[in-house]
Chain A
Amino acid sequence: MSKPESNNHIAVKAEKLTRRFGDFTAVNSIDLQVQKGEIFGFLGANGAGKTTAIRMLCGLLRPSEGEAWIEGLPVSKSAEKIKRRIGYMSQKFSLYNDLKVWENLEFYGGIYGLSKSEIESASDIMLARLQLAEYRNTMTVELPLGFKQRLALGCAIPHNPGIILLDEPTSGVDPIARRKFWDLIYELAESGTTIFVTTHYMDEAEYCSRVSIMVHGKIVALDTPRELKKQQKVTTMQDVFLKLVES
C-alpha cells in the first residue's frame, strides 16, 4: 500500500481506483491528481464510468481496488471527515420537488449542521449568488431545469467546502443556462475552491485547467486542453475527444 501523501497542494487523488459490477469493470485502475484551486474536467462518453468514479471519490461507493484521497485523507477510512470537506452534486437531479426553493437550502444547511441563524443569513446570500432570490418561495418542482441545477449546486455547498465534485451539472439545458452555471463555477474557483466536474460538452472542457478523458473505464489522456490539442494536432477539444474515443 502506498502511504497517503502529505502534499497539501493536492485536493483529490486516486491510485489504481477500480470498481467492478460482477464481471464488468466500470472503472479500471485510474490514477489522477487534482491540484487545489484547479477546475478539473473529467470527460468521457456515456457509460465510460465517470459517475462510478466520482462516487468512489465521495465515499458513496466502495472501490473494488485502489484508493482515493481527499485533501490527503484516505476515503475508505475517513468517510465522515471527508463529507465535511466536499460538496457533491449528483448527476440525477436530487432535490426535494415538494419543498420550496429556500426550504431545500434550509434543509441542506440543517443537515450540514448549521444553526438557524447561520442558515438564514447564508441562504439569502446563496439565493442572490444563484440568481434565485425572486424564486425563494417557489415550489422546486416548478423551476426550469437550469434553475434547478443552480439550486442543486447551492444545496451542495452550504458548508463552504474546499472541494466541489459535480457530475454533469449542466446536462440537458440551453447554452445560456450553461453559461450562467459556469459563471458560478468560475466564481467558486476564483475564491480558491477546487472543482472536479464531469461533462459531455466539449466547449465546457475548454474552460477547464486540466482535463482527463475516460474511455471504457480507463483514463486515456490527462493534460491541459491546450497540451492535448497540441498532442493530437487538432484545434478543438471536440476533435481531441473524437480522436481518442474512436481510436
Chain B
Amino acid sequence: MKRTLAIARKEVFHILRDPRSLMVSVLMPLMMLLLFGYAIDMELRDLPIAILDQDRTPLSREFISHMTSSEFFIKNADLASRDQIEAGFRRSEYRAAIIIPKGFDEKVTRGEESPVQVLVDGADATTAQTVDNYISQVVILLNNRLVENREFQATLLDPRIRFFFNPQLRSADFVVPGLVAVIMMMICALLTSIAVAREKETGTLEQILTTPVLARNVMIGKVMPYMLISAFDAALVLIVGYFVFKVPMAGSWLVLAGYSTMYLLIALSFGLLISSVSKTQQVAMMMALLATLLPTLLLSGFIFSVDSMPLWLQVVCHANPAFYYLKILRGIMLSGHAWYPLEGGIMLGMAIFLMTLAVARFRDRLE
C-alpha cells in the first residue's frame, strides 16, 4: 500500500507539472464531443420490423411489400393484435412496428387520408430516423401511383409516427451517449498508454525494477490519479451533453456515475496493458488510438446497429465494453432504467480481467 501510494503520488506530480498535457486531457474530450456531436450522420440496414396488418387487402399488402423489399427492413414478426407490440420491443425482437389500420384500402380508394401508424423504439434514434425517412418515401411512392391511376390530388397516406422512449426523436439523444462512450474509451486509454512506456524511454523503469516494488503496486498506483482525471472528463462530457445537446436524463446521475466508473477503469487498464507491452510512448499512443477508436465507433452499436451485423461481428461486439456501456448509458439517460446486472457484471469482469492482465504483462525485467 505504501508503495502503491508512493507511485500514485509521483504520478500526480507528473500530471500537475505538465499543464499542457493536463489541458489536452481535459479539453480534448470536450472538443471532440462538440465537433462530432454536430457532425455525425448515420444510417443502417436490415432492421427487424413487425407488421400488424389489420386491413388485409391488396393495397395493405402492397404497402408492406414496398417496406420489406428494401434493404433497410426485414420483417421479423407478423402480429395479430396491438397488445403484442410492446412485449416484442422489450425483448428486442424488432425495432419498429408498422400498424395498418382496418379500412386502410377503403379510405384510400375513397380518396380520404388514411393513417398508418409506425411505432419505433425511440431510444435508438438511428432506427427511428431511418424508419421515418423510409416510410415517408414509401408513402410518397404509393401516393404518386395512386394519384396517377385515379387522378386524385390529395395526400392519401398519412403516416403517424410515435416514439416510445424518445418522443421528439432528437438525434443528439442518440449521438451523445455514443460519443461519451467513444471519447472516454479513447482518452482513458491514451492517458495511461504512455504511463509505463514513458518510464521505459527515460530509463526510470530500470531503476524502479531494481526496487522491491511489485507490478501491482506500479499498475494500481498509476491508475489512481488517472481515474480522477477521467472521472472529471466523463462528468464534463456528460454535463455538456446534458446542457448543450439537451440530452435528457431520465435516470439518476449517481447510477450513471457508478457504471461509468467501471467503464473508465476498463479503459484505463486497457491503456496500461498497452503501455506495458510497448517499447516507446509513440507506439503505445498509436496502439491505444487504433485499438479503441474504430471498435468503439463501429462495433458498439453506436454507428451501426449490432442487430444488423453478421453473426460473427455480433460476437465481436459482445466482447466490446463500449457495447455494454452504451446500452446502459442510453437506458439510463433516455428511459431511466437503473438496473443492469448483466451488462454491469460483464463490465466489472472486464475491468478486473484487464487490470490483472496489465499487472501480469508488466515485466519485472528488462527484456
The interface of chain A, by Cβ under 8 A from chain B, is: 55, 58-62, 79-80, 83-84, 86-90, 92-99, 103, 106-115, 155-156
Contact = CB atoms under 8 A, between A and B. Distances in A.
17 contacts: A55-B366, A59-B365, A60-B209, A60-B365, A79-B364, A80-B212, A83-B211, A90-B206, A92-B206, A93-B203, A96-B13, A98-B13, A107-B6, A110-B6, A111-B6, A111-B7, A156-B210
Ranked nearest first, the 4 interchain pairs of A and B with the lowest CB-CB distance are: A110-B6, A92-B203, A94-B203, A88-B210
A111 B217 contact: yes
Contacts of B211: 83, 108, 111-112
A237 to B, nearest CB: 29
Nearest to B214: A80
Given A79-B364, A96-B10, A113-B3, A84 B207 contact: no
Interface string B207-248: 111111100010000000000000000000000000000000
A16 to B, nearest CB: 20
B14 interface: yes
Contacts of B282: none
B20 interface: no
Given A107-B10, A110-B6, A60 B210 contact: yes
B365 A61 contact: yes
B208 A111 contact: yes
Interface string B1-13: 0110111011001
A61 B209 CA distance: 11
A90 B213 CA distance: 17
B18 A98 contact: yes
Contacts of B366: 55, 60-61
A99 B10 contact: yes
B150 interface: no
B206 A111 contact: no
Given A89-B207, A99-B13, A110-B2, 6 more contacts: A87-B210, A88-B210, A107-B9, A111-B3, A112-B211, A112-B212
B224 to A, nearest CB: 14
Contacts of A115: 2
Contacts of A90: 203, 206-207, 210
Nearest to A99: B13
Contacts of A109: 6
A88 B365 contact: no
B212 A155 contact: no
For B17, B208, B210, which residue has the most chain A Cβ atoms within 10 angstroms? B210
Given A60-B209, A110-B2, A111-B213, A95 B7 contact: no
B133 interface: no
B204 interface: yes
B117 to A, nearest CB: 64
B14 A156 contact: no
Contacts of B204: 94-96
A156 B365 CA distance: 17
B69 interface: no
A238 to B, nearest CB: 30
B148 interface: no
A86 B212 contact: no
